[in-house]
């Protein structure tokens, strides 16, 4: 059995070593395709793979068709919007993610971006502090919970809105549960996005939702660029010279944002949230173990397609 790790943005070496150990201990072979630049390279590499470990790498119907032996794809991470689930199901391929394994890394980056933003991108002028400010966590999943934990250390007043998570689960963490996204944005000085990119959430962060944010508000996005209505965000920031947007996922309109909002907009050049040795080890090894469990024992825990 051959397990292919196909990562356009590679894991830390120590994580690859850990994955190799798991795979070889199960009597399987590991193949690596890192930093590939053409889809063709992925199509060629998957041809004889029985299992595939990916990150944000796109697995569409064409990739699945080229992978004639493929039985399982594990997205080493949380969001699986990069995998065509229907095509995978049609091809008889199991798709899994590794929930929670990289969430602390993403949560820590939220605060890296926030401190950078409220200190005016370290330009030498007086900024503000996070202590005592109202933090709104939009979606209370694994990353949201870690953000709440770190926010307590900063002395923030923590709120959250999640359409699916019960209020009691938030309240027991000392987080005030709000009943709508509208209320979250109207209440909080800082909103941190943790919603997945789905048909319902794409472009859902729009001008109407953002309009009521308090003076000096900061929106931080370590989730997905697709959830932002980019023209709406531009209109909001044009109307509100007091607000800032910091993101770990470069928007489609990055050049326009740079030009119009210098000093209150920042994007990392490449998504860095999960890019730590620890997160790579946690997610990579979990992915390898899930593959071994599935191929040897039929274990389907963490399966996300039908």
Nearer to ligand 3PG, 187 or 282 (CB): 282
Q: Please, what is the minimum distance in Å from the beta carbon of residue 262 to ligand 3PG?
A: 27
Q: Report the site for ligand 3PG in 177-206 (rule: CB under 6 A).
A: none
CB of 207 to ligand 3PG, least distance (A): 25
Q: How far apart are CB 273 and ligand 3PG at their closest, in Å?
A: 6
Of positions 79, 144, 251, 284, contacts ligand 3PG by CB under 6 A: 79
For residues 10 to 49, the per-residue mask of contacts with ligand 3PG, x marking binding by CB under 6 A and - elsewhere, is: ----------------------------------------
Q: Treating both helix axes as pointing N-terminal to C-terminal, what angle do 103-118 and 277-297 enclose, rounded to 10 degrees?
A: 150
Q: What HEC string does the chain produce?
A: CEEEEEECCCCCHHHHHHHHHHHHHCCCEEEEEECCCCHHHHHHHHHHCCEEEECCCCECHHHHHHCCCCCEEEECCCCCCCECHHHHHHCCCEEEECCCCCHHHHHHHHHHHHHHHHCHHHCCCCCCCCCCCEEEEECCCHHHHHHHHHHHHHCCEEEEECCCCCHHHHHCCCCEECCCHHHHHHHCCEEEECCCCCCCCCCCECHHHHCCCCCCCEEEECCCHHHECHHHHHHHHHHCCCCEEEECCCCCCHHHHHHHCCCCEEECCCCCCCCCHHHHHHHHHHHHHHHHHHHHHCCCCCECCC
77 binds ligand 3PG (CB under 6 A): yes
- Contact segment (CB under 6 A) with ligand 3PG among 16-24, 43-51, 73-81, 182-190 equals 73-81
For ligand 3PG, the closer of residues 107 and 117 by Cβ is 107
Is the CB of 33 or the CB of 130 nearer to ligand 3PG? 33
CB neighbours of residue 269 within 10 Å: 7
What is the closest distance, in whole angstroms, from the C-beta atom of residue 98 to ligand 3PG in the complex? 8
Q: How far is the CB of 229 from ligand 3PG (least distance, A)?
A: 20
Q: How far is the CB of 294 from ligand 3PG (least distance, A)?
A: 19
Considering only residues 259 through 288, tell me which ones interact with ligand 3PG, judged by CB under 6 A.
271, 273-275
Number of residues that bind ligand 3PG (CB under 6 A): 11
Q: Shortest distance, CB of residue 209 to ligand 3PG, whole angstroms?
A: 22
Smallest distance from ligand 3PG to CB 107, Å: 12
* Residue nearer to ligand 3PG on the CB measure, 45 or 223: 223
Taking the C-alpha atoms of residue 210 and residue 217, their distance in angstroms, rounded to an integer, is 10
**Spatial contact of 46 and 4, defined as CB atoms under 8 Å apart:** yes
Q: Which stretches of the chain bind ligand 3PG, using CB under 6 A? A: 9, 55-56, 77-79, 102, 271, 273-275
């Amino acid at each position: 059995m051959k397990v292919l790790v196909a990562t356009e943005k590679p894991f830390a070496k120590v994580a690859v070593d850990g994955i190799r150990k798991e795979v070889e201990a199960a009597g399987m072979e590991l193949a690596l395709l890192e930093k590939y630049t053409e889809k063709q390279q992925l199509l060629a590499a998957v041809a004889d793979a029985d299992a595939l470990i990916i990150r944000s790498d796109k697995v569409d119907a064409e990739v699945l068709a080229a992978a004639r032996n493929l039985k399982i794809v594990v997205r080493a991470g949380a969001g699986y919007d990069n995998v065509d689930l229907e095509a995978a199901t049609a091809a008889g391929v199991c798709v899994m993610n590794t929930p929670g394994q990289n969430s602390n890394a993403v949560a820590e980056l939220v605060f890296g971006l926030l401190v950078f933003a409220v200190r005016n991108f370290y330009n030498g002028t007086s900024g503000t502090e996070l202590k005592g400010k109202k933090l709104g966590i939009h979606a209370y999943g694994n990353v949201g919970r870690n953000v709440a934990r770190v926010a307590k250390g900063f002395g923030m007043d923590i709120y959250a809105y999640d359409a699916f998570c019960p209020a009691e689960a938030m309240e027991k963490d000392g987080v005030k549960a709000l009943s709508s996204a509208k209320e979250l944005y109207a209440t909080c000085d800082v909103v941190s996005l943790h919603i997945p990119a789905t048909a319902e959430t794409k472009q859902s962060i729009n001008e109407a939702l953002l309009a009521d944010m308090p003076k000096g508000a900061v929106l931080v996005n370590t989730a997905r660029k697709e959830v932002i209505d980019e023209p709406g965000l531009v209109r909001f920031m044009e109307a509100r010279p007091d607000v800032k947007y910091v993101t770990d996922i470069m928007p489609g309109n990055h050049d326009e944002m740079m030009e119009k909002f210098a000093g209150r907009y920042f994007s990392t050049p490449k998504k860095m949230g999960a890019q730590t040795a620890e997160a790579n080890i946690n997610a990579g090894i979990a992915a390898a173990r899930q593959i071994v469990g599935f191929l040897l024992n039929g274990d389907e825990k963490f399966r996300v397609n039908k």
